[in-house]
Amino acid sequence: MIRFGKKIRKSVSALAAVSVLVNTVLTAIADNSGSIKTVSNNGITYVTGITSGDTADGVLVIPDDLGETIFLGDPNGTKTFLGNNDVSTLVIGDNVWGVTSSAFTYADALSTIIVPETNTSFVAAAEGLYGYISDNNYSLIKYYSGNPRQDFVMPDYTTMVISADDAEFATLNLNRVATVYPLTFAGTSIDTLVLTNDVTNAAADVAESSDILYGAKVGSFMASGAFQTNYDGSILSKNGRIIKFSEYADSSVDVSGYTSISPFAFTSISQYKDIRGNLPDEMIKDVVFSFYDQGEAVFYVNDEIGFCYNYDRWMPGRVNNKNGYTLSTSGLSESQYNNVKKLMYYGVPNDQTGLFEDVFGISYDSVKGSFENGDAALNVVSSLLYRFITNGAHEPSETKGIDGYVFTEAKVAAYRNSLLSAIQNDTAESGNVSFNADEDIVFSLQDDGTYMSNEVTVTASDDADHTLKLTTEGITVSGSDEFSTGTKICFISDSEPTEIKFTTEDVALSFYVTDSKHQNVLTSSTTTVEHTLTVKEKEEEEVYNEIPISKKDATTKEELSGAFLVLYDEDENEIDSWISDEEPHLVYDLPDGTYKLVESIAPEDYSVAEDVTFEVKDGKVKKEVVMYDEKIEKIATSSEIPISKQDITNGKELPGAELTLYDEDGEVVESWTSKKTPHIMKNLKDGFYTLEEITAPEGYDLAEDIKFEVVDGKVAESVIMYDAPLKEEIASSSEISIRKTDITNGKELPGAKLKITNEDGEEVESWTSTEKPHVIKKLKDGKYILEEVTAPDGYEIAESIEFTVVEGEAQTIVMKDAPTKKEEPEEKPEKTKVVLHKKDFTTSDELPGAELMIEDSEGNEIDSWISEEEPHEIEDLPDGTYYLIEITAPDGYLVAEKVEFKVSSGKSVVTVTMKDKREPEETVMEGTPEETQPETEVPKETQQETEAQKEEKKTETPTSHKSSDSHSGGGGGSYVIGRGLEFNKRAETPDLVTTQVDTPITADVPQNVRVLAARRTPKTGENRSMTTLLSAAVFITAVYGFLKPEKNKI
């Protein structure tokens, strides 16, 4: 808990009637807060949650009547007390003293916090809320997630940051910040992070205090002092420990020399999978890697997927003592335990029944580990795990990782429903799958000495499709050691088997039990399980009265009609003769002895088979009598096919190439060396052939293989293989980086279908753009064209780009897409440019910070803006009369009178100047952007001192040093900040002015003002009832602060 110090004030109150009025109005505003959830502990009232009824149009008021000492946030929670409610404006009373570390975590909708002047614990600034710790030491309690992406330097007085999650920065300089919390930067995107001070994680429960960047996506790092970066800023480290990889780091990153790694080091699972091979096993052993895009509930530990098992605890940094997942270790009821096992069986990453492919149309193995913005399927499994272990009480309502491509909202919802359906319909205990054949498996000896089984179908007890891997030596199915359930197969064995062994990949669950503060981790992987099919011993066939004799096609093994066959005994006596048909021929009552089957005439297009000899003993034969006929390949009796090897540049015959011709079975037909005349092939059988160049002549490249077909001894077109002269070897390290960007912001633009063709119009490569540039290696020298086939939704197709590769030189090609253009308005006559100056009346310098607008002669608003250090320009104003109007003057200046100006043809530039005079020696409190607050008299000497302090701040050079304040973490889910500290008193509130980098947000808080709300210009037609209510609340709260009776908080 951070308890922020307060300055003791003496009230200037006197008017009882006004006081009653103020209290009445505040009570009216707070009437909707009756159901605010609170808990009390040691005299402190904690605001732990709200309901949707607590807010009015996005405004939440925390009234003082909740308690004498109020803290915002649940001391045992991990998320904001605002929950999923869209609270955009928070109004806190005088009795709020502090916050928990999770009070504003993931409060993304919050954009304004209003603090009364009498509450000196907090200072509200444009970018967020600060809390007073001690002189020149403030905490940035909440940096608004909706702030624009820009450079920001933490002010010199800021030594702690609690919540800057789900925000965006161009360059973020932490400056003097010394303390952060576990979720401070969760989900925050930072182009460049600058660290010059020793920053530590205040939570004692993280793996190490240097693990400060959970969930942050950082483009590059700049560091000095306690932290270090590698040569390209892709690794942030401290004392040999890898703290964070940049979001662009990949398998090329050099990790040598590092000794340990933070559990928050990776941006995504895909980055973990990409870099994992570079990391020593000892470095990653027992580290629980967390990924923000996986919702803090999916981990990688010891190269296995892990799931959060306790929704209300902190993420673990390390684990040990891996146990089997059993009913006794699970802590669940038997039905809960079985549901978890079934979930791990049907869900990814195991996906034992192929349910993922059924829903998404692609196998999980082909895409797992490739999702840069999170794996939504894993998050679905994690959510259902919460559902089962909490009986539905804590299943998350939002699923991260939905990308609009593979993971659409509809398919993710369908996957969740399919998992639930599979689990509910599975009455068996999943993971104990058995396999059986639909009939007895019997093997028969074949003519080639192998054994073949009868045709069977193997099925699984879960009725799902499984791939089974044979492990019995010498047994195959169609030449492979793998087969699938649900299909008819025959087993082939080198010897007569008695059993068939095979393995499957089944679910293996393990359990890491941690402690009461950290989540236990359930890991889900696969293990190899062996299964056995029994072979039935074949009963000997006793054939006493009849012996079947078959004539079959040697290829198809089917009965072959039309062969004239003769059977002879061992004395060459003819026993029987017949013409084969579709059934085997039966010979009856053969005496014991040796017999010979002879084919006199083969069927048409078949060659005569060799004689088959068999023995009859005791009136039976040992094996089936079969004679096979080979089909005759057609040969052109006089065909001649010339094969030519030519120089591609002149078409002349090219001698010296070593060539080989293969038939369709890969057998060599002929090899030769090319000469000055084509090579002639004679009597080639009909079929497909491949011509391969083994060695090219000196000075030539090897040609690609040529395939051709011979039909009736002829080819459809000449067989010519061309060789091209050698080109210079391209540099092995050359890379062409192709970027597809948004023309408006320069960011990588995913979803564009692109292709590259060479100068012959042949496609070299095609792909779909992602959030990273596409890299092509080892392109040959030549000209190429980059073409956009399909643009992402909302963008125009860009023009093709031609580029040239010379000596393999690396280069970057950028293709920019413009958003789809709206209909162009009709052309209007040429108009003039108006240059508008807002200046200081005394110095005539440009004066930033004034809210200005232009109206035409009919009172229509033409333009509005905030003045800057450069004049504002407007082009294409039609001729007419206009008025420059100042809505709000900069702090310390009076609103100027409106300025009339005219635009007429023939004048290219119109210059309009408005000057502001400084205010007299008094300060007006700022409240909402649309109403002027009551003036508060300020002694002249105090105002002069404030101006001097401001001037000193402008010239002050930031220094880096570690704050001497220490803040201990609490237990459970949230760190209560500042527990045990005495109430601090401060005499002054420093002006909050950020050190600027480029155009940062500036937090400028005058000495006598405690309420600053971010300004915005309402859109035309916007309902202003909310703004009016908020303005009234601010005004009344300010008056209340000056009129409230004196109250000591000690």
Dump pLDDT digits (tens) for 773-804.
898 877 888 899 999 999 999 999 999 999 88
Q: What is the mean pLDDT of the chain?
A: 80
Looking at the structure, tell me whether residues 303 and 414 fall in a common domain.
yes
The answer to whether position 453 is within a domain reads yes
Q: Structure pTM?
A: 0.51
CA nearest to 898, candidates 915, 918, 879: 915
Q: How confident is the model over 708-741, as pLDDT tens digits?
A: 999 988 888 889 999 988 864 333 446 788 999 9
Tell whether the model's pLDDT for residue 77 goes beyond 70: yes
The residue ranking higher by pLDDT, 362 or 395, is 362
Domain boundary among 425, 443, 464: 425
Rounded to 10 degrees, what is the CA torsion of 159, 162, 165, 170? -10
Q: How sure is the predictor about 62, in pLDDT bands with cuts at 50, 70 and 90? A: very high
Looking at the structure, tell me whether residues 973 and 1003 fall in a common domain.
yes
- In the prediction, which pLDDT does 810 show? 75
Tell whether the model's pLDDT for residue 1023 goes beyond 70: no
Taking the C-alpha atoms of residue 176 and residue 158, their distance in angstroms, rounded to an integer, is 7
Mean pLDDT of 890-911: 80
The answer to whether position 805 is within a domain reads no
- In the prediction, which pLDDT does 718 show? 87
DSSP assigned state of 82: T
The answer to whether position 271 is within a domain reads no
Taking the C-alpha atoms of residue 386 and residue 375, their distance in angstroms, rounded to an integer, is 17
- In the prediction, which pLDDT does 755 show? 94
Between the two ends of the chain, the Cα-to-Cα distance in Å is 17
Tell whether the model's pLDDT for residue 696 goes beyond 50: yes
- In the prediction, which pLDDT does 931 show? 37
Looking at the structure, tell me whether residues 415 and 440 fall in a common domain.
no
Q: Determine how many CB atoms are found less than 10 A away from the CB of residue 909.
A: 9
The residue ranking higher by pLDDT, 877 or 935, is 877
The answer to whether position 458 is within a domain reads yes
- In the prediction, which pLDDT does 541 show? 52
Tell whether the model's pLDDT for residue 907 goes beyond 80: no
Q: Do 565 and 597 contact (CB within 8 A), yes or no?
A: yes
- In the prediction, which pLDDT does 426 show? 78
Tell whether the model's pLDDT for residue 164 goes beyond 90: yes
Q: How sure is the predictor about 663, in pLDDT bands with cuts at 50, 70 and 90? A: very high
The answer to whether position 781 is within a domain reads no
Looking at the structure, tell me whether residues 11 and 107 fall in a common domain.
yes
Tell whether the model's pLDDT for residue 28 goes beyond 50: no
- In the prediction, which pLDDT does 974 show? 46
- In the prediction, which pLDDT does 880 show? 87
- Cα 356–Cα 357–Cα 360 angle in degrees, nearest 5: 80
The residue ranking higher by pLDDT, 984 or 429, is 429
Q: Are strands 499-512 and 217-223 parallel, antiparallel or unpaired?
A: unpaired
The answer to whether position 1000 is within a domain reads yes
Looking at the structure, tell me whether residues 584 and 682 fall in a common domain.
no
Mean pLDDT of 596-618: 90
Looking at the structure, tell me whether residues 880 and 900 fall in a common domain.
yes
Mean pLDDT of 678-688: 89
Q: How sure is the predictor about 830, in pLDDT bands with cuts at 50, 70 and 90? A: low
- In the prediction, which pLDDT does 958 show? 35
Mean pLDDT of 527-554: 80
- In the prediction, which pLDDT does 528 show? 83
- In the prediction, which pLDDT does 5 show? 53
Q: Do 1007 and 36 contact (CB within 8 A), yes or no?
A: no
Looking at the structure, tell me whether residues 650 and 618 fall in a common domain.
no
**Of 87-96, 329-338, 351-360, 732-741, which one has max mean pLDDT?**
87-96
Mean pLDDT of 637-647: 80
Tell whether the model's pLDDT for residue 347 goes beyond 60: yes
For tokens 């941006």, the residue is 267
Return contacts of 442-446, CB within 8 angstroms, 24+ apart: 442/535, 442/536, 442/538, 443/491, 443/493, 443/496, 443/497, 443/535, 443/538, 444/538, 444/623, 444/624, 445/496, 445/623
Q: How confident is the model over 472-507, as pLDDT tens digits?
A: 999 999 999 999 999 999 999 999 999 999 998 777
The residue ranking higher by pLDDT, 907 or 517, is 517
- In the prediction, which pLDDT does 871 show? 92
**Tokens matching residue 283:** 């470095």
Domain boundary among 596, 629, 662: 629
- In the prediction, which pLDDT does 948 show? 41
The answer to whether position 499 is within a domain reads yes
pLDDT-above-70 percentage for the chain: 79
Least confident of 625-629, 743-747, 972-976: 972-976
In the sheet where 851-856 sits, what is the strand order?
861-866, 851-856, 880-888, 899-903
Q: How sure is the predictor about 456, in pLDDT bands with cuts at 50, 70 and 90? A: very high
Least confident of 611-615, 637-641, 786-790, 923-927: 923-927
Q: How confident is the model over 178-230, as pLDDT tens digits?
A: 999 988 999 999 999 999 999 998 875 666 788 899 999 999 999 999 999 99
Mean pLDDT of 50-76: 86
Looking at the structure, tell me whether residues 529 and 614 fall in a common domain.
no
Q: How sure is the predictor about 1035, in pLDDT bands with cuts at 50, 70 and 90? A: very low
The residue ranking higher by pLDDT, 681 or 826, is 681
- In the prediction, which pLDDT does 231 show? 93
Q: How sure is the predictor about 295, in pLDDT bands with cuts at 50, 70 and 90? A: confident
Q: Note the helical H segments in 729-842.
A: none
The answer to whether position 389 is within a domain reads yes
- In the prediction, which pLDDT does 508 show? 78
Q: Determine how many CB atoms are found less than 10 A away from the CB of residue 502.
A: 23
Q: How sure is the predictor about 254, in pLDDT bands with cuts at 50, 70 and 90? A: very high
Domain boundary among 691, 712, 733: 712
- In the prediction, which pLDDT does 13 show? 27
Q: Do 462 and 428 contact (CB within 8 A), yes or no?
A: yes
Looking at the structure, tell me whether residues 304 and 407 fall in a common domain.
yes
Tell whether the model's pLDDT for residue 878 goes beyond 50: yes
Bridge partners, 912 (sequence order) = 836
Taking the C-alpha atoms of residue 32 and residue 30, their distance in angstroms, rounded to an integer, is 5
Tell whether the model's pLDDT for residue 879 goes beyond 60: yes
In the sheet where 475-476 sits, what is the strand order?
443-445, 451-453, 492-493, 475-476
Looking at the structure, tell me whether residues 499 and 551 fall in a common domain.
no
Tell whether the model's pLDDT for residue 26 goes beyond 60: no
For residue 877, the enclosing domain spans 832-916
Tell whether the model's pLDDT for residue 1 goes beyond 60: no
Bridge partners, 774 (sequence order) = 738
Q: CATH number, domain at 699?
A: 2.60.40.10
- In the prediction, which pLDDT does 634 show? 56
Mean pLDDT of 143-163: 96
Looking at the structure, tell me whether residues 701 and 619 fall in a common domain.
no
Taking the C-alpha atoms of residue 487 and residue 478, their distance in angstroms, rounded to an integer, is 12
Looking at the structure, tell me whether residues 650 and 708 fall in a common domain.
yes
Q: How sure is the predictor about 313, in pLDDT bands with cuts at 50, 70 and 90? A: confident
- In the prediction, which pLDDT does 434 show? 85
Number of separate domains in the chain: 6
- In the prediction, which pLDDT does 792 show? 93
